[in-house]
Each structure stands twice: as C-alpha cells, then as structure tokens.
Amino acid sequence: MMKDCYVSRTGRDAALIARCDPVIYEGGRYARALEQEQLQAYEQDGFLILPDVFDASEVGALREEAVALEHDPAVREGEEVIREPGGDALRSIFRVHELGRRLADLPRDPRLLDVARQILGSEVYIHQSRVNMKPALDGKEFYWHSDFETWHVEDGMPAMRALSCSVLLTDNTPFNGPLMLIPGSHRQFVACVGETPEDNYKKSLRRQEVGVPDPVSLRLLAEQGGLRAVTAPAGSVVFFDCNTLHGSGGNLSPWPRSNVFMVYNSVDNRLVAPFHGMDPRPEHIAARRSAAALEPLAVAA
C-alpha cells in the first residue's frame, strides 16, 4: 500500500498539510500550449481564466447539446443525472463526454487537451465530466471544497496530478452563481473531519457535507489568497488544479449558469483502491475502465 500523503476524514481534527506534489509537471516533450507567464500564474494561483476560447457558434452548439441532454427522457432517468437538493430541477449530468457528440469531441480539442498535457506533463484521460446546470432562480450552491480531497479519499486518486477544465456555456455574471476560487489554496491540503458514509456520492453530489474544509482553515486560506469569482462570457475557459478550493453560490437570477467540467487526470496517476477501504464509486463518476489516453482531434486545416 503506497504512503498516503493526504490523510483525511479519519475522525481526527482538521489539519493543513503542505502539498507534496508539483503543480506544473515538467513533462518536457509535451505541448507548449500556454506561455510562460500563463503557466506561472497557474502555478501561483492554482487556476487560469482564458476568456473567449470558443466563438459564439461553437459555444452555442455545445450549449444546445447540453440542453438537449437535459430534456432527453432517457438521460433524465439515467444514473448520470443529479437533481437539486429538495427539488426536481436538474443540478448535474455526469459522463457527458460519452453522452453527447460535440461534448465527446470537446476534451480532445487541442485548445484544451494541450493545456492539460502541458501542465500534467504526460498523456491524459478523462477521470470525470459533467454539466452543472445551476438553473435560473433555483440553482443551489456548491459549498467550498477541494475536488482532490474527494477524488483521493473516495476514488483512490494517488497524487495531485489532475486538473479541471470548465467551459462556460452561458455568461457567468455576479448574479447567477459564478464559480469562485481561493487563489493559492491548492498548495495546502485541508484534511477534513468526519467519517465518510456508505454511498456518500448519492448525497454529496446534491449537497456536500462530508469532506468540506472547516471554517478556520477556510478563513485562513481566504485571508491569505482572497476570493476570485470567474465572471466571464460564454465560451471562456477556466483551468483549475484538482486541489484548488472552489465553490459557487445559488442562482437567484432569472438566467441559468451552465458550465461543462472535464477532469483531466495524468495516465501516470490512475486510480487505485480508495484510501480508507471504501467501495469504488461508479464508473460514470470516476473512470477506471475507460481510462485510455486521449487522442487529439485532427484540427481542421
């Protein structure tokens, strides 16, 4: 059993553990998608916002496909759908990179894939994908959390060698619950209190209560790094490290805030058995069988 550098949810008190993995993996021969100053900003903050990567027609087509999935009766009854807490509105659809056609091509688009391969310094595969719908007037919050804390404890992700890429399918404004991040928080692992209930994902994806940072650690990291809201137009992209603390507020605006998230994991960081003896989570949340390295899309000449 490999040494567990990031022990969490073992009943002891909360703790801050210094990250023991690099942020940028020098893979040498991998793509040069980002400029040096962009890489430095990502290493410093734990995220990078790229405005207007996709043009209106591209993001319109992606959004159309996401809306079609949202209204597809077969999808609505599937295990990939998560509904809002206390209601029926759709909160997330998982595994969208295998449900949609344009959404299947998206993770292989060199504008995204090459950034992931450069930062992770290796071939990569999709650990998880989802569309978070955050519907108008009804979209509930995602409380502050580190994705890696969950992916390490519940999915057996060994090291911090993964990142999320979020493509904004609608404008993200100060009013519709934009993604918020804590700059610099990726450098500390917040060990969480509490034990993980059986099949935790059935609750945590609606409202996460276990594996969330304690208020003292949150305040400390926010006072060190501040808070940053990703308010940007549809078609913008934000890359964030697997351990950067993030969350989003509820959506009180009459317009949806819909973002697609794709999690790139290094092929050298494939999942092992979950670290505290739990059963592995289902394939549509944490890929094990479909963990083949992504082939880049042939770019139209």
Size of the site for Fe ion (CB under 5 A): 1
**Token pair in block for residue 61:** 């087509």
Asked whether position 109 contacts Fe ion by CB under 5 A, the answer is: no
Among 122, 150, 166, 172, binds ligand 6CS (CB under 6 A): 150
How close are the terminal C-alpha atoms of the chain, in Å? 48
Which CB atom, from 141 or from 268, has the smaller least distance to Fe ion? 141
Which CB atom, from 204 or from 236, has the smaller least distance to ligand 6CS? 204
Q: Binders of ligand 6CS among 101-130, rule CB under 6 A?
A: 128, 130
Give the whole-angstrom CA distance, residue 91 versus residue 80: 11
Pick the piece of the chain touching ligand 6CS (CB under 6 A) from 53-61, 62-70, 82-90, 203-211: 203-211
Nearest distance, CB of residue 247 and ligand 6CS, angstroms: 8
String marking each residue 282-301 x if it binds ligand 6CS according to CB under 6 A: ---x----------------
Asked whether position 142 contacts ligand 6CS by CB under 6 A, the answer is: yes
266 binds, among ligand 6CS, Fe ion, none (CB under 5 to 8 A by kind): none
Nearest distance, CB of residue 142 and ligand 6CS, angstroms: 5
Which CB atom, from 30 or from 95, has the smaller least distance to ligand 6CS? 95
Asked whether position 147 contacts Fe ion by CB under 5 A, the answer is: yes
130 binds, among ligand 6CS, Fe ion, none (CB under 5 to 8 A by kind): ligand 6CS
Which CB atom, from 6 or from 30, has the smaller least distance to ligand 6CS? 6
Which CB atom, from 115 or from 262, has the smaller least distance to ligand 6CS? 262
Phi, psi of 93 (to 5 degrees): -125, 120
8 binds, among Fe ion, ligand 6CS, none (CB under 5 to 8 A by kind): none
By CB under 5 A, name the binding residues for Fe ion. 147
Binding site for ligand 6CS (CB under 6 A): 128, 130, 142, 145, 147, 150, 201, 204-205, 208, 285
